Structure 1
Amino acid sequence: MDTSLSWIKAYVPDLDCTAQEYTDAMTLSGTKVEGFTEFDKNLDKIIVGKINKIEKHPDADKLVICQVQINEEGEEVQIVTGAANVKEGDKVPVVLDGGHVASSHKDGENENGFKIKKGKLRGVESFGMMCSIEELGSTTDMYPDAAKDGIYILSDNPEYKDAPIGSDAIELLGLHDVTFEYEITSNRVDCFGVLGIAREVAATFGKKFVPPVVTKTGNDEDVNDYISVDVQSPELCPRYVARVVKNIKLAPSPEWMQRRLASVGIRPINNIVDITNYVMEEFAQPMHAYDLDTIEDHKIVVRKANAGDPFKTLDGQERTLDDSMLMICDGKKPIGLAGIMGGENSMITDDVKTMLFEAATFDGTNIRLSGKKLGMRTDAQAKFEKGLDPNNAMDAMDRACQLIEELGAGEVVGGAVDFYPVKKEPLRIAYDPAKINALLGTDISEEDMIRYFETIDLPVDREKREVIVPTWRQDLERMADLAEEVARFYGYDNIPMTLPSGAATSGGLSQKLQHEDMVREVVENYGFCEGMTFSFESPKVYDKLNLSEDDVLRKSIQITNPLGEDYSVMRTSALGGMLTSLATNFKRRNQEVRLYELANVYLPKQLPLTELPDERMQLTLGMYGKVDFFDMKGVVQAVLERMGIKAAAVKYDPNAGKSFLHPGRQAVVTCDGQSVAYLGEVHPEVQKNFGIGTRAYLAVVDMKVVSSLADFDVKYEGVAKFPAMTRDISLTMSKDVLAGEVEEIIRIRGGKLLESCELFDIYEGEQLTRGYKSLAYKIVFRASDRTLTDDEVNKCMDKIMNGLGEKNVVLRQ
């Protein structure tokens, strides 16, 4: 947000300060000034001169010698120039010997300006320089009557032609001005207009705020005879104001308006466009104008777009709409993207006769989302998306119509169409001086607080001790906000340092964060390093992972305005990023790599989205080197045990069904019937797709499920008083029988006397029938109240062997 000091002074006429004083005071009162530009910086000894005589240069065809009068007493100086647009009798800005200009036609701009010295041009002495508008540090946007190439002829402008010779040209041109750049927070929507800034300036410097007096406009006609308005989406358009202006006379706007617009970076175009831009900057209320003759049925309809409809905007771009976007339509077609940009089909031409002016308020969230989806960003959109005050719309409209009449730009039709079904009322906030002082650590009287409130146009109901907050101060919602207003104008630098008065509370991690820290500790102890990859990825990664067309992982959320195709969807798995990281390390010849990532994946419940997706935290592990499937299995088991999930409760199913894992070296891990993880060796084709030239292993742990199953209750048992009895058995079985299945039977059939079961040998070889394997277990029995007998242990072993026999598992002979 930019404003010029002269524009501010139009509403705070008694303001008298330097640019630095203004910057410091405004920043301390809460309206941060990021910087300022002084128009008259490096300009001095520049006066109004009159060319009395022009002669040709004796030795140069393109140079002339001018005798320039520099005061009312008739004193003249000789100046040699190459400008072709000067003539005798012209009044021009003249910089005298020793003076400075902002730039030189030779060397361009210079931070410190250029000093003008007397010298000789082709043997003829010159004692100064006549100036162009650029040499005065300005542009033809601010001074449209100035020549683009040549000296600024002041006498061609009626406003300057009678200027006294020798007077200050900088003062005459209004160049003793400053432009300030502000950092306005999004909650101070009122300060996105010059009037809002001026109100803050008046309060900060204790001066009177004098807003423009807006007068009634309009002839005896009725606007309803020209236009009707139908708002079909009032939740997205709480107010819509329309007025009609006929007998339009397009012309340049006056210089004072052009100068103010140019000072804030807006290029003047014509009186009508300039008025709408001027009111937008003054009132922070965007406006739009339509050629009434292009509006079918002379009817405005505010409605949502039809999904898939094309619409060409004023910038010539054709855009595809969806049914969430708000449109301004006439009786038959869309003519504008509400709050963003008009349509090419409603473009105003030079032969316009009658115009419709629009001032409305739209839902800020909808405007922002629509702009994001369409990849658009406009000044009006930037204001609308912050949430404008609907009560400001009519004031802005009346101001625009007043300027139209004052500048002779057209004839305003009487009345206005005003759709405003639910009026926004001022908010009343109770205040308590004692609580405000306690919050600030101050001792400010109630009278001073009331004075601060009233200084910034916040009326106070003294009887009820309530502040009546105008609708344009949407940032004030509670007493703490009022305390901030008091602090701003009391002065933050005046508040003494005090210790916090509130009770101290100890912080702590949530259960979710505690679980994440536990997992990090485990995997880092196993040598894994944490990585972080993008949540956005390319849909091409699904093909690299060998996913089928109907795989649930392919159902990802499309990003409306992606950085590029490689970042166009929200990831449904972190495997793509993990495999890419492993591939990068392999290419860099890192021999042993272990990586993990603890991050969200985004699983939509349905597409297109109708509700927020399931943001599910997953632990993704990846490694290669001197490791195998069982190393990864051990890490996963350690993670589960750290989360309080006992090994006995965990089952491994080799039929995981993951197309990106080796079909014979993968497993899904379940507990209580829920899938908690899966792991395996990367499929050879997937390894090749990602450029990993060695066997690699992956595991994914569902942290949401694991956290729900976590059990940290500790049961303490005394040291065993009675001896244990051990049996070692070697079993023969088909290779299809899983070790986990064998161990589960041993645990169940072993009963309460079983203390532990440990696999200590695996054998496959010539001594066994093809397709068979041997597993050897150490089984430990113990009773807590007695010494077990061989007979008791033998009975347990018989039960175990009977159970194993049902799986065709027998003792090895």
Structure 2
Amino acid sequence: MLVSLNWLKQYVDIDGIAAEELAEKITRSGIEVDAVIDRSKGMTNVVVGHVVSKEKHPDADKLNVCQVEVGEGDIRQIICGAPNVAAGQKVIVALPGARLPGGVKIKKAKMRGQESNGMICSLQELGVEGRVVPKKYAEGIYVLPEDTVPGSDALELIGLRDTVLELGLTPNRSDALSMLGVAYEVAAILSKEVKLPEIAYNTISEKAEDYIKVRVEAKENPLYAAKVVKNVKIAESPLWLQQYLMAAGVRPHNNVVDITNYILMEYGQPLHAFDYDALKTNEILVRLASEGETIVTLDDQERTLKAHNLVITNGQEPVAIAGVMGGANSEVTTDTTTVVIEAAYFDGFSVRRTSKELGLRSDSSARFEKGVDPNRVLIAGERAAQLLAELAGGEVLEGTVAVDDLDKSPARVVVSPDFINNRLGMKISLEEMLSILNRLQFDVEAANGLLIIDAPTRRQDIKIEEDIVEEIARLYGYDEIPMTLPEGNEQIGGLTPYQEKRRIARNVMEGAGLLQAVTYSLTSDELAQKFTLKAEDTTRLLMPMSEERSTLRQSLLPHLVEAASYNIARKADSVALYEIGSVFLGKTEEELPFEEEHLALIVSGKWVDHAWQGEKLSVDFFIAKGIIESLFEKLGLTDRVSFEKASVDGLHPGQTAAILLDGEKVGLIGGLHPTERKRYDLKETFVAELNLNAVLAAQVEELVYVSVPRFPAITRDIALELDRSKPAGEIIEIIRNAGTKLLKEVKVFDVYEGDKMEAGKKSVAFSLTYFDPERTLTDEEVVSAHNKVLKALTEAGAELR
């Protein structure tokens, strides 16, 4: 809801309070103000101009040379390209030195050799959204009324010296979907009075009932009223009305339509105007539609109706969809002279269902869905008649034709002050409670220790005692509610060790640049056991939604592969995802699927792509392995983890390894098989999956910190000739077993399989680090330890190069 403060001032005195302060007070009382919008946007030096003359630019087909009076006797030459500029118009002019939205500064300039001393402005150039600019001026400059004075402040004239509050309303506060509803709220906050519009107009001797009859067949419509206004002159609305509507986010059309929209925003009561002559009959019949019946709505779309849709008809055919939108066959046009104003109360459920089925939402349907004030329906119709008489020269026929079976009685709530104070945990006096309820204009009586409250019908959300508690609390001030500690045994919340480790796992994945994915636990029979670490009996649903969602998964990877494929197909050239979720293996003693938490990841495309530095790096096996190793390092399990070659259906046979923790298989890692990549239209893609339950349950010794070593380490590099099928991990294990306690680290730093090697052979280079934290090692000690390693390697069949 957009609330113009200039408009709000018509109903409640807010002079002397800054917009930001008012917004803060409204927010603290329970309705959040999402934004405070200055409509002037810091603009200066924008005045009214009078186009004295217009001539074609001598050197440009689409430009005009205009002589514009911007003050008494002050005529400026301005070049304008708007298609609708004409001599005699009153327009908006930004003079040299003016500042417009977007940091635009107006200067004197020459355009194709002709001097231009300012700019004739459209509303869009003044920061008004294009969707609310009248269609007549959507493609050109805005033309002001003829009686405006050249040189006067244009921003004041068109209502841009205004501030708008954007309210973020919750569904229960439908009363604040109107200016009067907001006025009641602000008046309660500021302890002010609400000034309601005075409704008074003259009627002619003819009676409305002689022109129109109203019948209601549908129970979904307990109140329908019609007023008739003759001799209406269709024209543009006055400037003040257009500006109020634009500030509220509504596009002006003509005076009749604008009046109904104005009252919609003022009272929160939707109205509709029919062209009386276009109705073709003197009857309005409210009924349910026939199955398959059609109507062309005001947006020129043909709508097919269902038997439960409520429609307004002329007794023969639909002329409006009740509460949603009018029909094109009864639309008010420039030829309209007699108008029928509809003021009705439609059932919110019926309107919502119709609106949803037709995919047609409007400001009217939004208000009927949430509930309008039953006591404002007829008043809104009277207000429309008044404005049609004032602004459209209409003659109002005497009386209102109505069918009224609507219960307009207020909701009664009885609550004790003790109940309120107990719920709030504080002591508010009875006098303060009565004061708050009176400020809210609730009818209240204190009797026998109870508050007997009749909530106004505009507040459809007040039904039970707790609603009154909320009203008292928010107007008293949420900040005034004291803070208290809960009674009872002290229980300090926290994460379990497992939860802490799982959070570490998430942080490692996200720190590595992976995004979290959440996929279905249900999959197809074909994919249920694909990539699984441990195949068990699958669990199939008795009545699945589809075959693709029929079986509980035993691996996270199939759906992650599908997620990567989905993103790649939508022009995401690189994908890095992880998921932590349950897989379902076999059954427990209770005959339920056994849940086991797993972690899986997938990387595809580029890992590094720095175009500026010319640096690119595609994902490979070692990037995926590095992420897994980072997780084990963070969990303190590095020395207990190893990798060994494995074979898994769907993974590349030369790029797949099992992940072992203390010699037990807890996961797998590998590249997607080319066949699988082709099936999912993926580039080089690598995946990994861990049994997170097993990994996080592993006991870790308490972390012990040691002093930073003062003694140097010594490294020795060796290159070994091995069979190509020999895993480097086995050689590292031999080196570690043969090394003395001085050997602290072993790393592979090079692998060579080129033409310098024998067929079936490869060269693997290792770096060995020797170190003693207590002293500096001698060469003799290092040589002795290193020789033991070389001997063990020779015995194992490795050849030193």
Q: TM-score, normalised by structure 2?
A: 0.58
How much does 1:78 deviate?
Answer: 7.0
CA contact (8 A) 1:288 1:359 kept: yes
Query: What's 2:207 paired with?
Result: 222
Residue 25 in 1 paired to residue 11 in 2?
Answer: no
**In 2: Cα distance, 1:60 partner to 1:275 partner:** 42
Give the drift of 1:397.
0.7
For 1:91 and 1:637, locate their aligned partners in 2 and report how far apart those are by CA, in whole Å. Answer: 83
Given the alignment of the two structures, is residue 201 of structure 1 paired with residue 201 of structure 2, yes or no?
A: no
Against the structure 1 CA distance between its residues 589 and 386, is the aligned structure 2 distance closer, same or farther, given a 3 Å change threshold? same
Q: Does 1:273 align with 2:262?
A: no
Question: For residues 40-93 of structure 1, what are the alpha-carbon distances to aligned partners after superposition, in whole Å with 9 as ceiling and x for unaligned?
Answer: 1131244567899999999999686979776x7x8x797664568989998765
Task: Kindly indicate whether residue 464 of structure 2 is the aligned counterpart of residue 478 of structure 1.
Answer: yes
Change (3 A) 1:310 1:65: closer
Residue aligning to 1:100: 99
Quick one: structure 1 residues 349 and 440, their matched pair in 2 at CA, closer, same or farther if it must change by over 3 Å? same
Q: Percent sequence identity over matched residues?
A: 40
Structure 2 CA distance for aligned equivalents of residues 468 and 593 of structure 1: 65
| 1:583 pairs with 2:573 | no
Report matched runs for 1:430-509 at 5 Å. 430-463=414-447, 465-499=451-485
The residue that corresponds to 1:318 in the other structure is 302
Task: Give 1:790's aligned residue.
Answer: none
Q: Residues 142 and 258 of structure 1 are in contact (CA less than 8 Å); yes or no, is this contact kept in structure 2?
A: no
Conserved 8 A contact 1:227-1:298: yes
For 2:56 and 2:550, locate their aligned partners in 1 and report how far apart those are by CA, in whole Å: 86
The amino acid across from 2:209 in the alignment is N
Query: Structure 1 pair 24/357, CA: closer, same or farther in 2 (3 Å)?
Result: same
* Residues 708-727 of structure 1 aligned to structure 2 (within 5 Å): none
1:595-614 superposed matches below 5 A: 596=539
In 2, Cα distance between equivalents of 1:322 and 1:151: 45
Q: Aligned residue for 1:231?
A: 216
- Counterpart of 2:8, as a letter, is I
Q: Deviations over 1:199-232 (max 9, x none)?
A: 2122223333212112255333332222222222
CA gap of 1:271–1:172, structure 2 versus 1, over 3 A, is closer
Picking from 352, 360, 366, the partner of 1:368 is 352
Displacement of 1:476 in angstroms is: 0.9
Q: Does 1:157 align with 2:146?
A: yes
Structure 1 residue 419: Cα displacement: 1.8
Q: Contact 1:140 / 1:146 at 8 angstroms: preserved in 2?
A: no
Q: CA RMSD in A?
A: 4.5
- For residues 352 and 58 of structure 2, the distance between their equivalents in structure 1, rounded to whole angstroms, comes to 66
Aligned-pair distance for 1:396?
0.9
1:128–1:436 Cα change, 3 Å? same
1:470 partner amino acid: P
Distance 1:213 1:52, change over 3 A: closer
Q: CA deviation digits over 1:348-376, x for unaligned, max 9?
A: 44433433221111211122122222332
In 1: Cα distance, 2:86 partner to 2:554 partner: 84
SS of 1:21 mapped into structure 2: helix
From 383, 388, 391, the counterpart of 1:407 = 391
Q: Give unpaired runs (5+ residues) of structure 2.
A: 492-516, 556-584, 595-678, 680-801
CA distance in 2, matches of 1:327, 1:187: 27
CA deviation digits over 1:729-766, x for unaligned, max 9? xxxxxxxxxxxxxxxxxxxxxxxxxxxxxxxxxxxxxx
Give 1:394 deviation, angstroms. 0.4
Cα deviation digits, residues 92-148 of structure 1 (max 9, x gap): 65555544122xxxxxxx2xx223456677789877656554433347997869977
Q: Distance in 2 between matches of 1:181 and 1:597?
A: 51
Alignment of 1:279-294 (within 5 A): 279-294=263-278
Work out the CA distance in 2 between the residues paired with 1:6 and 1:450. 31
Check conservation: 1:143, 1:259, Cα contact below 8 A.
Answer: no
| CA pair 438-315 structure 1, distance change in 2 beyond 3 A | same
2:161: which partner in 1?
176
Determine whether 1:378 maps to 2:362: yes
Structure 1 pair 452/601, CA: closer, same or farther in 2 (3 Å)? farther
> Are the structure 2 counterparts of residues 78 and 245 from structure 1 closer, same or farther at C-alpha, using a change threshold of 3 Å?
closer
May I ask how many residue pairs the two structures share in their alignment? 539
Q: Which runs of 5+ in 1 are unaligned?
A: 103-109, 506-529, 535-576, 604-617, 625-633, 644-690, 692-813
Alignment of 1:14-53 (within 5 A): 14-47=14-47
The change in CA–CA distance for 1:504 and 1:619 in structure 2 (over 3 A counts) is farther
Alpha-carbon offset, residue 494 of structure 1? 2.4
Compared with structure 1, are the counterparts of its residues 172 and 351 closer, same or farther at alpha carbon in structure 2 (3 Å cutoff)?
Answer: closer
Equivalent residue number for residue 803 of structure 1: none
Q: Which residue of 2 aligns with 1:137?
A: 127
C-alpha distance 305-350 of structure 1, shift in aligned 2 (>3 A):
same
Over 3 Å counting, the alpha-carbon distance change for 1:502 and 1:224 in structure 2 is farther
User: Mapping of 1:719-738 within 5 angstroms?
Assistant: none
Deviations 1:155-185 (A, max 9, x none): x630x22x6x4x5443344321123222222
Q: Which whole-Å CA distance do the structure 2 matches of 1:148 and 1:478 have between them? A: 49
SS of residue paired to 1:11: coil
Counterpart position of 2:663: none
Find the counterpart in structure 1 of residue 233 from structure 2. 249
Is the aligned partner of 1:387 residue 2:386?
A: no
- 1:105 corresponds to: none
